[in-house]
């Protein structure tokens, strides 16, 4: 499985209006996954994942979220 290096900012600088909208949207559509599985050869690493599912005809919403957070992947 290929790996990606993503730049994740230490502190998100997002507009309050987007933050309020995203909070409601994520409450209805998202999930937070925190795993304990460690990659082979790595010590003390787990993973965190935020997942939001949308139908393919609503994919522009995912790109809007990615643009505002300035990190992540859409697929």
Domain boundaries, the chain: 16-69
Reported as a single tens digit per residue, the pLDDT across 1-45 is 455 555 555 567 788 899 899 989 888 888 777 666 666 776 666
- What lies within 8 Å, CB to CB, of 67 at 6+ separation is none
pTM confidence score: 0.63
**CA dihedral over 23, 27, 28, 30, signed as positive or negative:** positive
Residue 1, pLDDT score: 45
Reported as a single tens digit per residue, the pLDDT across 34-51 is 666 666 776 666 666 777
């Amino acid at each position: 499985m290929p790996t990606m290096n993503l730049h994740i900012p230490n502190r998100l600088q997002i507009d309050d209006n987007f933050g309020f909208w995203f909070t409601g949207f994520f409450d209805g559509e998202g999930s937070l996954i925190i795993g304990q599985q460690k990659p082979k050869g790595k010590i003390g690493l787990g993973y965190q994942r935020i997942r939001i599912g949308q139908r393919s005809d609503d994919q522009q919403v995912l790109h809007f979220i990615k643009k505002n957070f300035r990190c992540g992947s859409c697929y």
